[in-house]
Amino acid sequence: MTARTPYAVPVPKGYRIGPWEVRDPLGSGAFATVYAARRGDGQPRTAALKFLATGTRTPRQLHHLRDLAERETELLSRLRAPRLIRMYETLTVDDPDHPELDGATVLVLERAEGSLDTALELDPRPTAGPALLAQICEGLHQLHHAGWVHGDLKPANVLLMADGSVRLADFNMAAELEGTHAYAPAFATPDYTPPELLWPEVDERGTRIRPTADIWAFGVLAHVVLAGTFPLPGSSTQARVDAAMRYARGTEELRLSPGLPEPWRQIVTDCLSPTHPDRVTHDTASLLRRVEEAAGASRSARLPRLRPRRWRRPVLIAAITALAVLGGSTAVTYALRDSEPPTNTAPPTCEKPTIFEDEEYGRGYTAGWNGTWDFTIKQGEGGSQVREAQCLLRHLHGITEVGEADGIFGPLTHDAVVKFQKRAGLKANGVVGAGTWSALRKAGEV
């Protein structure tokens, strides 16, 4: 008899798949288990391997699990956006000696330090809630803008990276819009489910969901992050679901926690409008503007890199700390420090990029907005990677034509990138990929 494990897909440590070697589990959901992994071919690169359950029990289960796996791989292979977890490749286990794993789909993902649900259990709770919410909203906007609905937004599906930035993850309930709505297997988590989907109309293609379902979930999540409680009353999920139904019928009022800070009360109230037609005016574009303003526009996406080589390897707390720094508490970074002093204590700014040590790429400049060395960005995109590139162009390389570091990759940024690429002897196509990032970060004495 096999021992029961808390993992949906148990995989032994040291298991090899493609060039990857499985290390410790990072987390598990209902349908998958995610493991740390390193390349077994001597390359230093690390990743997170998400093993999706194979569902060998019944044909119906098999069909359902395949559908979930296809949704996630489809979205991740088609969408690349700064606030969505990045997928490097997919693999299939070919191992008849391990029948429980044979045929499993494995997603090779960029590795996060942890997820928001774990962070929310910390005591004291992270002070960087508003900055987190601004990034989560940015991720949601990137998703909706690309024509997808997440369908399962909740703290466990918000990942925190080592540099403190946020990525949305777990897209097995995601659905691509067909006009005004999409078809999802179900809206997964009752506490984050809008009233209209608690008893939805389901046809042979699944549940009809709209982007406003994610807006509701964002409202719940904002309340949980900022006030520490669910917005609807009840000590059990069922009680809160009943309260949501009464609220939608108009027999119960929404009473937000007094602990919810003032600028957020209206935002949460709007996200929690009881019906889809009430909620539809609050799309992610308008929501993002309001959330960034409430979070403090200049700070919302400001993410100092926390990985100078001589520091103790940060775990989840580092990601939280990075965000706490955004809230103004720079002293807290010292809690992470080894006995040795860090190479650089001054936090980087847009105007004054500083040198940091990246585990994989070595020394390079950062302006504190984003730590990527290879995330491709081009005209039409936005986010913290764009801001990082703009700051480096303007303040490290003196290309003032880039304009303000506003995080929007418009024609000015494009032309500034082309100018930089020509100067650096690179292919001058205006696209910032690995080569351009490296040249942007490796300036002067680095």
Ligand X SMILES: Nc1ncnc2c1ncn2[C@@H]1O[C@H](COP(=O)(O)OP(=O)(O)OP(=O)(O)O)[C@@H](O)[C@H]1O
- Minimum CB separation from ligand X for residue 120, in Å? 12
One residue of 17, 26, 224, 260 binding ligand X per CB under 6 A: 26
Contact stretch for ligand X (CB under 6 A) within 15-23, 30-38, 296-304, 380-388: 30-38
Contact 434, 373 (CB under 8 A): yes
Contact stretch for ligand X (CB under 6 A) within 108-116, 125-133, 224-232, 293-301: 108-116
User: Please, which residues bridge with residue 166 across strands?
Assistant: 160
Strands of the sheet with 202-203, listed across from one edge: 182-184, 206-209, 202-203
> Does residue 369 belong to the site contacting ligand X (CB under 6 A)?
no
> Does residue 301 belong to the site contacting ligand X (CB under 6 A)?
no
- Minimum CB separation from ligand X for residue 344, in Å? 27
Which residue lies nearer to ligand X by CB, 287 or 322? 322
- Minimum CB separation from ligand X for residue 215, in Å? 19
| Token pair for 445 | 């004495």
Angle between helix axes 284-295 and 129-145 (nearest 10 degrees) is 160
Tell which positions 109-168 bind ligand X, by CB under 6 A.
Answer: 109, 111-112, 115, 156-157, 159
- Minimum CB separation from ligand X for residue 345, in Å? 28
In order of 55, 213, 372, the CA distances from 202 in angstroms are: 23, 15, 42
Amino acid identity of 244? A
Binding mask 78-97 toward ligand X (x if CB under 6 A, else -) reads -------x------------
Question: Which helix (H) or strand (E) covers residue 38, if one does?
Answer: strand 32-39
> Does residue 31 belong to the site contacting ligand X (CB under 6 A)?
yes
Question: Is 419 one of the annotated binding-site residues?
Answer: no
Could you count the other beta carbons within 10 Å of the beta carbon of residue 58? 9
> Does residue 319 belong to the site contacting ligand X (CB under 6 A)?
no
Which residue lies nearer to ligand X by CB, 273 or 384? 384
Q: What is the per-residue DSSP string for 93-127?
A: ---TTSTTTTT-EEEEEPPPSEEHHHHHTSSSPPT
Q: Minimal CB distance to ligand X: which residue?
A: 29
Could you tell me which of 384, 385, 420 has the C-alpha nearest to residue 402? 420
Could you tell me which of 232, 210, 207, 209 has the C-alpha nearest to residue 219? 232
CA distance 109 to 48: 5
> Does residue 320 belong to the site contacting ligand X (CB under 6 A)?
no
- Minimum CB separation from ligand X for residue 114, in Å? 6
Which residue lies nearer to ligand X by CB, 69 or 227? 69
Interface residues with ligand X (CB under 6 A) are: 8, 26-32, 34, 48, 50, 85, 109, 111-112, 115, 156-157, 159, 169-170, 172
Residues making up the annotated binding site are: 50
